């Protein structure tokens, strides 16, 4: 580890945790929250006379996604490398439960888990020893609740409390909640499960109450983050993305970019499409026929990451992108929370999230721990009032003119383009549409484009009530949207989703669970 001094949040929170207090930590993304709780736990374990894996788990750490669990596991493994008697492990959905049971039976001193998988083992694995449990940590606690895990979290707390009551001499347990944002649900969870809590990042419970009363109107953004927005016609959104990525990758050395989409099908489609498009390295008039050379439209490694991918694919993808110097990652919000992806230069929000909390966690993948970073969100003219919503939450974005971006587009597709951006954009749009229309024995681009189009419309119709007037289905020009997916046929020929979402009963838990299980946030239990 290369850390030489604690971050601000570590300096504030570690003494409180070392004092055995129940703690709620609110801190901006990239501030070093993981080590904030791991260092005190490991330090206390080293103070104990005897720590043996056969005693079972001393600490449970719960995180919302598999990738975050694996990341915490890696950090912890480095931390305890010199102390082999402290056994660390993880259990997540998507892996064989039989092998997990075997590891639990042998004993895991510090166990990191997704909530669904942990609850499953608490209920069904008799060899799960918790007699010595001293720490329970909820990392990204707000996201656990946002993703619909409130029921699992409540049941985990209930089961652990029942087990403690059944012990003759129960060991006092320290509960820690760490979050980048504060929500009413999180505040309620803390009030029920944290006895006499210490608030870090909040001056007191009074300030917490004031945060609630302000309806969570403020969010902390790192000072080193530069935020931009680009207003683009919907029909030119695909061209804008291609131009922006090509421009940044070619002009910025060692450029890492994360592009966020609203759904898994869009990630699959755009990753596959961008992987297939190539462009000549020189204009036609400078190359003899038959001697043309080509490069990828975005000349760097491309990756994809979403919750519908198998775990044995997601894990190496995450690690390879993390260790790359230059790369582009197409992803859903599965990569937006807690993951430490070093040296990310740009965050591109192709599909804006309706909730400012989702926005802050996306942009939090860059400008981490004092480093500089950049974020840009694409919006249409009809969606421009979204910027005012972000401004009201203390997030201020500078406009990056559409024209200044597309001026960088040089594809060498055609002769005599005369550096005309409109002609360049038309040529690139044609290439995209040609790729989608042509027959390919390995990839059905047309089917992928239609599926992504339909999934986008469904996700657009589910924006939260607070921003639904901005992302209004009535203002969505389906013909222009089809062009953004490089589709030439009229939308009526393939659109099989309603323009207006059906009214449903107010059952928030059920709704959140449905989307989490069918999109990027499944933990593999279903």
User: Which CATH number do you get for residue 404?
Assistant: 3.40.50.300
Q: Are residues 147 and 64 in the same domain?
A: yes
Q: Which pLDDT does position 524 carry in this prediction?
A: 39
Q: Answer yes or no: are the C-beta atoms of 116 and 149 closer than 8 Å.
A: yes
Q: Are residues 331 and 475 in the same domain?
A: yes
- Which residues in the chain come in under a pLDDT of 70? 1-3, 29, 202-220, 281-292, 335-338, 368-370, 412-419, 496-526
pLDDT number for residue 221: 75
pTM of the predicted model as reported, rounded to 2 decimal places: 0.73
Residue 383, pLDDT score = 96
Q: Does 517 fall in a domain? A: no
Q: Does 388 lie in the same domain as 293? A: yes
Residue after which a domain boundary falls, among 213, 246, 274: 213
Residue 310 belongs to some domain of the structure? yes
Count of structural domains, the chain: 2
Residues of the domain holding 102: 8-213
End-of-domain residue from the set 213, 233, 250 = 213
Query: 398-399 and 373-379: which strand pairing?
Result: unpaired
Q: Give percent of the chain with pLDDT exceeding 70.
A: 84
- Note whether 193 and 232 are same-domain residues: no
Whole-angstrom distance, CA of residue 33 vs CA of residue 31: 6
Is residue 18 in some structural domain?
yes
Same domain membership, residue 284 and residue 172: no
Residues 100 and 235 both lie in one domain: no
Q: Does residue 511 lie in a domain region? A: no
Tell me the three state secondary structure of residue 442: coil
User: Residue 508: its pLDDT value, please?
Assistant: 43
**Per-residue confidence (pLDDT) for residue 202, from 0 to 100:** 60
> DSSP E strands: which ranges in 84-183?
88-91, 110-113, 135-138, 174-179
Tell whether 412 and 291 lie within a shared domain: yes
Rounded CA gap, 345 and 343, in Å? 6
Are 106 and 172 contained in the same domain? yes
Backbone φ and ψ for 179, nearest 5 degrees, come out as -155, 150
pLDDT for 194: 84
- Residue 376 falls within a domain, yes or no? yes
- Pair 171, 295 in one domain: no
d(CA 394, CA 348): 20
516 within a domain of the structure (yes/no)? no
Same domain assignment for residues 288 and 389? yes
- pLDDT of res. 369: 63
**Is residue 91 one of the residues assigned to a domain?**
yes
pLDDT of residue 219: 57
Same domain as 49, residue 95:
yes
Q: Name residues whose C-beta falls within 8 Å of residue 517's C-beta, 6 or more positions apart in sequence.
A: 526
Print burial letters for 220-258: b (CB count within 10 Å at least 16), e (below 16). Answer: bbbeebebebbbbbbbbbbbbbbbbbbbbbeeeeebbbb
pLDDT computed for residue 338 by the predictor? 61
The pLDDT value given to residue 157: 93
Is residue 524 domain-resident?
Answer: no
Q: Are residues 378 and 231 in the same domain?
A: yes
Q: Domain boundary at 213, 242, 262, which?
A: 213
Structure tokens at 68: 């975050």
């Amino acid at each position: 580890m290369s850390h030489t001094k604690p971050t601000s949040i570590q300096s504030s929170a570690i003494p409180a945790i070392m004092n055995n207090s129940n703690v709620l930590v609110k801190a901006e993304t990239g501030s070093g929250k993981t080590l904030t709780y791991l260092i005190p736990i490991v330090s206390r374990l080293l103070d104990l006379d005897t720590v043996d894996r056969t005693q079972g788990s001393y600490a449970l750490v719960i995180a919302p996604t598999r990738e975050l669990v694996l990341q915490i596991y890696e950090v912890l493994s480095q931390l305890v490398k010199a102390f082999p008697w402290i056994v660390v492990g993880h259990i997540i959905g998507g892996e064989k439960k039989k092998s997990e049971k075997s590891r639990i039976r042998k004993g895991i001193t510090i166990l990191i888990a997704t909530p669904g998988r942990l609850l499953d083992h608490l209920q069904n694995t008799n060899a799960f020893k918790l007699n010595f449990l001293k720490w329970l940590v909820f990392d990204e606690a707000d996201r656990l609740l946002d993703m619909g895990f409130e029921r699992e979290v409540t049941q985990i707390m209930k089961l652990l409390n029942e087990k403690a009551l059944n012990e003759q001499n129960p060991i006092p347990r320290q509960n820690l909640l760490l979050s980048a944002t504060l929500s009413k649900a999180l505040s309620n969870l803390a009030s029920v499960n944290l006895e006499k809590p210490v608030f870090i990042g909040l001056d007191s419970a009074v300030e917490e109450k004031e945060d609630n009363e302000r309806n969570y109107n403020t969010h902390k953004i790192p000072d080193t983050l530069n935020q931009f927005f680009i207003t683009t016609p919907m029909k030119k959104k695909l061209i804008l993305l291609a131009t922006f990525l090509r421009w940044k990758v070619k002009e910025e050395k060692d450029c890492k970019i994360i592009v966020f989409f609203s759904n898994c099908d869009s990630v699959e489609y755009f990753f596959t499409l961008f992987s297939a498009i190539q462009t000549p390295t020189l204009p036609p008039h400078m190359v003899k026929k038959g001697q043309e050379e080509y490069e990828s439209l975005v000349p760097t490694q491309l990756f994809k990451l979403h919750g519908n991918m198998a775990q044995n694919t997601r894990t190496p993808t995450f690690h390879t992108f993390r260790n790359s110097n230059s790369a582009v990652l197409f992803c859903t919000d599965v990569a937006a929370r807690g993951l430490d992806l070093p040296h990310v230069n740009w965050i591109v929000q192709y599909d804006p999230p309706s909730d400012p909390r989702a926005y802050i966690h996306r942009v939090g993948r860059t400008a981490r721990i004092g480093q500089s970073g950049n974020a840009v969100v694409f919006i249409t003219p009809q969606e421009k009032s979204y910027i005012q919503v972000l401004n009201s939450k203390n997030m201020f974005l500078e406009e990056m003119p559409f024209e200044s971006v597309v001026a960088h587009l040089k594809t060498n597709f055609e002769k005599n383009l005369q550096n005309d951006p409109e002609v360049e954009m038309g040529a690139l749009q044609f290439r995209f549409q040609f790729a989608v229309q042509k027959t390919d024995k390995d990839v059905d681009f047309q089917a992928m484009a239609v599926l992504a189009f339909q999934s986008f419309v469904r996700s657009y119709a589910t924006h939260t009530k607070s921003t639904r007037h901005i992302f209004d289905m009535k203002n969505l020009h389906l013909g222009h949207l089809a062009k953004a997916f490089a589709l030439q046929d009229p939308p009526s020929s393939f659109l099989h989703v309603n323009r207006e979402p059906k009214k449903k009963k107010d059952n928030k838990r059920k709704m959140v669970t449905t989307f989490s299980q069918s999109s990027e946030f499944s933990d593999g239990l279903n």
